């Protein structure tokens, strides 16, 4: 099983995984920075966070199943 996992890992898997982790991290940071902002600032941050979470989910899909 480890051999199959090692054969699956290549540059794209590492790249897509890194993009997914970064997208989730920035989404969390956007949510934390929404406190005390005006309503349109909160809405903008939430829309950005949702977009980044969507990007992270897509990158995890590509990481798991390939391109």
Q: Tell me the pLDDT tens digit for each residue of 24-67.
A: 988 888 888 877 888 888 888 889 889 999 998 888 888 778 76
- State the pLDDT at residue 1: 67
Give counts: helices (H), strands (E), the chain: 3, 0
The number of beta carbons lying within 10 Å of the beta carbon of residue 46 is 14
Tell me the C-alpha distance between 8 and 29, whole Å: 31
**Does pTM surpass 0.75?**
no
């Amino acid at each position: 099983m480890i051999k199959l996992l090692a054969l699956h890992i290549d540059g794209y898997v590492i790249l897509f995984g890194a993009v997914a982790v970064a997208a989730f991290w920035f989404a969390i940071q956007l949510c934390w920075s929404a406190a005390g902002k005006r309503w349109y600032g909160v809405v903008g941050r939430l829309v950005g966070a949702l977009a980044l979470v969507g990007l992270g989910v897509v990158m995890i899909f590509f990481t798991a199943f390939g391109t």
